[in-house]
């Protein structure tokens, strides 16, 4: 071989196996162009990247033994147009880097990027073998580090890689983005170039690590726009992590801005005796802001064995401008605790988050063994605008002897909790005297507004042998400040039960509300509320306090306490507000009870706290159906439709009316009304006690579709039953189903059914002085026999032709009635002797055809029509000097407008009006009646 030939061969060998000279670009193959990834990196660090970037194709099945590969490209660094890629090529197993034994107990990693940008690792696997023990174990698979205070890692992509370390090393992290340099020193960024930004990690399989992915920013100039998992790409799978006595996370993002944690599958934490969190987004310390971060489409399954440390599925601890947590699944978590807490999904910022949206998440089949607090979904603390919407929470369980489970919990700010489905959650094994609580929705914060709407909450159960009086189960519980504006509406709550709980602080409730400046509870359907305790209390809707309270259009039924010997064990609706200068409106509710209990059992359809002060919780009670067909105790106890706490009616507004109170077989212990002093078995007795209130209230049977499920829509003969007519109430124009109420003749109760057939009275009449001008008249329907009691009345507008129609809802076909008409300045006129009869809900009567059409022929002929005498301006039944004098006075001052002394309805009082009155007074015109 010649010398020249030897030189050529030597140069060729150096080209194939050693770093090349010049910037790297194009495509290289490992192990062809470079024997190992480590050698390729060595060359890359020296030469940098040329035009178009460089792709290192690593052959499938390639394996090398190395560690602490440091990528720190000092010259010709990668850019968006000159990226670096290491990727698998060919079929077969991914290229694998088997970790060479490490030398540090804190700094060893397989691949470390130091201030490197625009580099991708695709399907390059890593393994820290079990032969590496103690200090030789790796602390990280991939790590992204800062080169200096002004040089971080940006636009790094790690995807489709399998990273397997040793979780026996409690510092081991699959992918680690750090605010440190290669020697482990903390690096505070001094400008944006030092941030680790725009990095993406997806499609990776990470296992046997203590923590899966950790992304930690500098406390100043924090990292932005990093993505851990990407929607639409393959998910990160993080399994078999944790297991020691240090806290651990599947994913931890700390101090990040606009971070996205999406599309990750996280399962692990088993054996950990400290805190375990599937996903944690947090900040440094207790302050700061992480604007606009997102946690979505993740699957979380964590295990923990901590006795006192908390476990979280997803914890969004970082304060943010806008926080979005949506479409996550937290499933089959198992927190084997003693007294510590479990939170499946919670946002609990230390400062004020501007807006948080917790939507479309599923939390199910999770188990907490201890006696701590379990929160399934929560927005806790101060969140200016919190939305908890369209989540599903079901089949979660606490198996300890006591505990608290909040299926949904909210805090301060403006709270919107709607369209969630919560069911089959329980604390089944209570024992001893420590109380337990279970809530479908709970808030004891200080929100400005609180809206709990359109939620379905059912099958919440506390069972076992617990004996505490403080045990409480509630579908919805709101304990807020007095300044909260509160709406609880359109919720379906049923199947709420407990082994016990004595009011108060325990009991079983469909809805319980405390405080609020403006509380509206409406269109809720509440049923199957059961307390199995011997002194247990069950309430459908219970309001303890508030300033302006409105409870309307609710369906309430099947409230039970089958073993209770409490004197008031079951209540449909209860209001006990002690607030001065407060008001309570209870309108259009349908309540049906049919409960029984032990020997001193008692119940109330409606329970109200009385006050001697008229402005303390002033009750306006109208248009309700309150039926209590419960069975009182065999020894004592009362079944009461409407119960007040004492005899004082001062805070029972006089406008209260049109209510239906009903019990089954009234007796001394089955009452329509009771206040501790007075009782009423009949509706007339009740009206006497509460007079002048409740003039039109009734007691009669009502047929509902299905009281067992609170389907309180009217059925059978109750549809169209004229006895169920209520009074129109301004501002309450729709029923439970949002059907429009009849503006004149609405139904009482929460269901507006088919329109009533209202008897109509059609009159033809003429006014002596006023006709054909239009004016208002009122018709009265009176019995045709003494004492001619008033049956009904209505106001109508007299047309120029003299016709007017009245709706008289109390008229009955085939019954004789006198027709009486009053006009503002005419003589009251009665129909002819004997009475008139409605046929097919209609009666037409013409006063103008003959004087005998009026009782005593008490009309005057005007032209061809008999007419009502005018001039009775003081409505005392006679036209006399007093009327004349009043007209004369108004005429002398030229009175005008719609005044009672204007007899001819021309808008002014003058001599013409005076002449009518003077003539009729001279003829001694008076009212004539039977």
Tell me how far apart the alpha carbons of residues 232 and 206 are, in angstroms, rounded to a whole number.
Answer: 19
Residues with Cβ < 8 Å from 761, sequence gap 6 or more? 779, 781, 794, 805, 806, 808, 811, 819, 838, 843, 844, 845
| pLDDT at residue 129 in the model | 98
Closest CA to 819 of 799, 803, 834: 834
Closest CA to 415 of 439, 380, 377: 380
Tell me how far apart the alpha carbons of residues 633 and 637 are, in angstroms, rounded to a whole number.
Answer: 5
Q: Interhelix angle for 911-922 vs 881-892, to 10°?
A: 170
Domain boundary among 721, 752, 769: 721
Does 553 reside within a domain?
yes
Q: Are residues 862 and 897 in the same domain?
A: no
Domain that holds residue 702: 486-494+507-721
Q: Are residues 527 and 641 in the same domain?
A: yes
Tell me how far apart the alpha carbons of residues 185 and 174 are, in angstroms, rounded to a whole number.
Answer: 20
Does 647 reside within a domain?
yes
Task: Give the SS3 label for residue 658.
Answer: coil
Tell me how far apart the alpha carbons of residues 294 and 262 are, in angstroms, rounded to a whole number.
Answer: 7
Q: How far is CA 660 from the centre of its chain?
A: 31
Phi and psi torsions of 889, nearest 5°: -60, -45
Q: Are residues 815 and 895 in the same domain?
A: no
Task: Give the SS3 label for residue 194.
Answer: helix
Please give the C-alpha separations between residue 854 and each of 759, 771, 912, 927, in angstroms, as whole numbers.
22, 18, 26, 10
Going by the DSSP 8-state scheme, the letter that residue 234 receives in this structure is P
Q: Are residues 888 and 858 in the same domain?
A: no
Does 563 reside within a domain?
yes
**Residue 751 class from Cβ within 10 Å (0-12 exposed, 13-18 middle, 19+ buried)?**
buried
Residues of the chain with pLDDT under 50: 1-21, 285-286
| pLDDT at residue 288 in the model | 55
Q: Are residues 611 and 682 in the same domain?
A: yes
| pLDDT at residue 803 in the model | 96
| pLDDT at residue 286 in the model | 46
Contact assessment for residue 143 and residue 113, using Cβ atoms and an 8 Å cutoff = yes
The DSSP bridge pattern shows strands 392-394 and 404-418 to be unpaired
Contact assessment for residue 110 and residue 150, using Cβ atoms and an 8 Å cutoff = no
Tell me how far apart the alpha carbons of residues 159 and 232 are, in angstroms, rounded to a whole number.
Answer: 13
| pLDDT at residue 786 in the model | 94
Domain boundary among 706, 721, 736: 721
Q: Are residues 855 and 886 in the same domain?
A: no
Q: Taking the alpha carbons of 684, 685, 691, 693 in that order, is the dihedral positive or negative?
A: negative
What CATH number is attached to the domain comprising 833? 2.60.40
Residues with Cβ < 8 Å from 624, sequence gap 6 or more? 586, 587, 588, 589, 590, 591, 606, 659, 660, 748, 749
Provide the β-strand partners of residue 389.
Answer: 359, 418
Residues with Cβ < 8 Å from 145, sequence gap 6 or more? 112, 113, 114, 115, 153, 178, 180, 181, 182
Counting Cα atoms < 13 Å in the Cβ hemisphere of 752 gives 22
Q: Are residues 550 and 689 in the same domain?
A: yes
Judged by phi (left if over 0) then psi (alpha if -120 to 50, else beta), residue 291 lies in beta
Q: Are residues 540 and 661 in the same domain?
A: yes
| Count of beta carbons in the 10 Å neighbourhood of residue 297 | 21
Q: Are residues 531 and 640 in the same domain?
A: yes
Closest CA to 488 of 407, 575, 415, 579: 415
| pLDDT at residue 580 in the model | 84
Helix (H) or strand (E) segment spanning residue 888: helix 881-892
Give the chain's end-to-end CA distance (angstroms, integer): 148
| pLDDT at residue 1 in the model | 38
| pLDDT at residue 133 in the model | 95
Does 128 reside within a domain?
no
Q: Are residues 596 and 704 in the same domain?
A: yes
Does 367 reside within a domain?
no
Tell me how far apart the alpha carbons of residues 519 and 633 are, in angstroms, rounded to a whole number.
Answer: 35
Contact assessment for residue 196 and residue 180, using Cβ atoms and an 8 Å cutoff = no
Tell me how far apart the alpha carbons of residues 328 and 298 are, in angstroms, rounded to a whole number.
Answer: 5
Q: Are residues 711 and 794 in the same domain?
A: no
Asked if the bond preceding 504 is cis, omega within 30° of 0, the reply is yes
Does 827 reside within a domain?
yes
**Rg of the chain in Å (alpha carbons):** 41
Tell me how far apart the alpha carbons of residues 391 and 409 are, in angstroms, rounded to a whole number.
Answer: 13
Tell me how many helices (H) and strands (E) the chain has: 5, 71
The DSSP bridge pattern shows strands 342-347 and 311-316 to be parallel
Does 109 reside within a domain?
no
Closest CA to 117 of 160, 84, 161, 88: 84
- How many domains does the chain divide into? 3
Residues with Cβ < 8 Å from 751, sequence gap 6 or more? 590, 712, 713, 714, 735, 736, 737
pLDDT in tens, 94-153: 999 999 999 988 889 999 999 999 999 999 999 999 999 999 999 999 999 999 999 999
Q: Are residues 904 and 784 in the same domain?
A: no
Does 131 reside within a domain?
no
**Both structure tokens of 700:** 């009669």
Domain boundary among 721, 736, 769: 721
Closest CA to 644 of 607, 619, 677: 607
């Amino acid at each position: 071989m010649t010398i020249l030939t030897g030189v050529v061969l030597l140069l060729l060998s150096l080209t194939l196996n050693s770093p090349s000279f010049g910037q790297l670009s194009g495509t290289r193959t490992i192990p062809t162009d470079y024997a190992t990834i480590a050698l390729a990196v060595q060359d890359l660090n020296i030469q940098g990247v040329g035009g178009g970037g460089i792709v290192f194709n690593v052959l499938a099945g390639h394996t090398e033994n190395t560690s602490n590969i440091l990528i720190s490209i000092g010259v010709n660094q990668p850019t968006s147009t000159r990226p670096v890629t290491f990727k698998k090529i060919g079929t077969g197993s991914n290229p694998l880097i088997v970790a060479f034994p490490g030398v540090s107990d804190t700094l060893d990693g397989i691949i470390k990027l130091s201030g490197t940008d625009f580099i991708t690792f695709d399907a390059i696997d890593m393994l820290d073998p079990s032969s590496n023990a103690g200090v030789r174990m790796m602390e990280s698979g991939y790590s992204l580090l800062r080169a200096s205070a002004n040089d971080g890692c940006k636009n790094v992509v790690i995807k489709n890689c399998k990273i397997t370390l040793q979780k026996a090393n409690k510092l081991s992290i699959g992918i680690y983005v750090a605010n440190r340099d290669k020697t482990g020193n903390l690096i505070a960024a001094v400008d944006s170039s030092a941030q680790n930004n725009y990095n993406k990690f997806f499609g990776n399989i990470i296992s046997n690590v203590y923590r899966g992915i950790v992304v930690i920013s500098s406390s100043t100039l924090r990292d932005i726009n990093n993505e851990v998992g990407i929607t639409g790409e393959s998910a990160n799978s993080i399994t078999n992590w944790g297991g020691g006595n240090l806290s651990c996370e599947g994913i931890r993002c700390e101090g990040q801005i606009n971070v996205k944690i999406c599309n990750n599958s996280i399962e692990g934490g088993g054996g950990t005796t400290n805190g375990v969190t599937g996903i944690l987004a947090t900040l440094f310390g207790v302050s700061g802001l992480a604007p606009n971060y997102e946690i979505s489409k993740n699957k979380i399954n964590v295990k923990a064995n901590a006795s006192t440390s908390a476990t979280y599925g997803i914890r969004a601890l970082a304060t943010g401008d806008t926080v979005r947590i949506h479409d996550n699944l937290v499933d089959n978590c198992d927190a084997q605790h003693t007294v510590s807490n479990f939170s499946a999904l919670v946002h609990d910022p230390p400062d004020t988050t501007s807006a948080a949206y917790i939507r479309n998440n599923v939390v199910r089949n999770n188990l907490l063994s201890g006696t701590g607090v379990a929160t399934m979904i929560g927005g806790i603390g101060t969140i200016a605008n919190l939305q908890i919407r369209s989540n599903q929470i079901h089949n979660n369980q606490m198996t300890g002897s006591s505990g608290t489970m909040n299926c949904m919990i909210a805090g301060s700010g403006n709270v919107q909790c709607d369209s969630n489905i919560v069911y089959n959650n329980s604390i089944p094994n209570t024992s001893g005297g420590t109380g337990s609580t279970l809530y479908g929705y709970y808030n004891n914060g200080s929100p400005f507004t609180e809206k709990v709407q359109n939620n379905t909450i059912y099958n919440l159960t506390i069972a076992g042998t617990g004996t505490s009086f403080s045990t409480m189960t509630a579908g919805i519980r709101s304990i807020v400040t007095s300044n909260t504006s509160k709406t609880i509406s359109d919720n379906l709550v049923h199947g709420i039960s407990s082994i016990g709980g004595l009011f108060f602080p325990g009991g079983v409730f469909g809805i319980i509300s405390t405080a609020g400046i403006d509380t509206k509870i409406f269109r809720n359907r509440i049923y199957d509320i059961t307390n199995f305790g011997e002194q247990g209390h069950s309430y459908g809707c219970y309001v303890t306090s508030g300033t302006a309270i409105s409870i309307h259009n609710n369906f309430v039924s099947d409230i039970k306490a089958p073993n209770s010997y409490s004197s008031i064990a079951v209540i449909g609706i209860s209001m006990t507000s002690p607030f001065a200068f407060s008001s309570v409106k209870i309108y259009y509710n349908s309540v049906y009870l049919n409960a029984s209990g032990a020997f001193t059992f008692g119940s109330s359809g409606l329970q109200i706290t009385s006050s001697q002060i008229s402005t303390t919780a002033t009750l306006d009670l109208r248009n309700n159906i309150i039926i209590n067909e419960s069975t009182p105790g065999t020894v004592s106890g009362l079944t009461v439709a409407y119960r007040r706490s004492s005899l004082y009616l001062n805070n029972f507004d006089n406008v209260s009316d049109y209510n239906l109170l009903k019990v089954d077989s009234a007796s001394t212990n089955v009452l329509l009304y009771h206040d501790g002093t007075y009782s009423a078995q009949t509706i007339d007795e009740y009206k006497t006690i509460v007079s002048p209130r409740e003039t039109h209230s009734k007691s009669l049977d009502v047929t509902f579709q299905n009281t067992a499920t609170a389907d309180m829509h009217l059925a059978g003969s109750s549809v169209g039953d004229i006895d169920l007519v209520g009074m129109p109430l301004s501002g309450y124009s729709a029923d439970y189903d949002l059907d429009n109420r009849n503006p004149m003749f609405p139904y009482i109760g929460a269901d507006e059914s088919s329109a009533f057939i209202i008897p109509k009275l059609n009159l033809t009449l003429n006014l002596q002085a006023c006709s054909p001008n239009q004016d208002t008249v009122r018709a009265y329907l009176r019995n045709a026999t003494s004492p001619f009691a008033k049956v009904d009345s209505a106001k109508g507008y007299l047309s120029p032709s003299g016709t007017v129609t009245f709706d008289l809802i109390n008229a009955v076909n085939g019954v004789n009635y006198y027709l009486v008409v009053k006009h503002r300045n005419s003589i009251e006129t009665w129909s002819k002797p004997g009475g008139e009869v409605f046929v097919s809900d209609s009666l037409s009567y013409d006063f103008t055809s003959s004087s005998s059409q009026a009782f005593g022929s008490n009309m005057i002929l005007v032209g061809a029509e008999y007419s009502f005498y005018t001039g009775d301006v003081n409505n005392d039944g006679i036209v006399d000097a007093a009327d004349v004098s009043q007209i004369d006075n108004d005429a002398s001052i030229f009175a005008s407008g719609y005044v009672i002394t204007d007899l001819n309805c021309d808008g002014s009082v003058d001599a013409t009006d005076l002449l009518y009155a003077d003539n009729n007074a001279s003829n001694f015109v008076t009212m004539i009646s039977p």
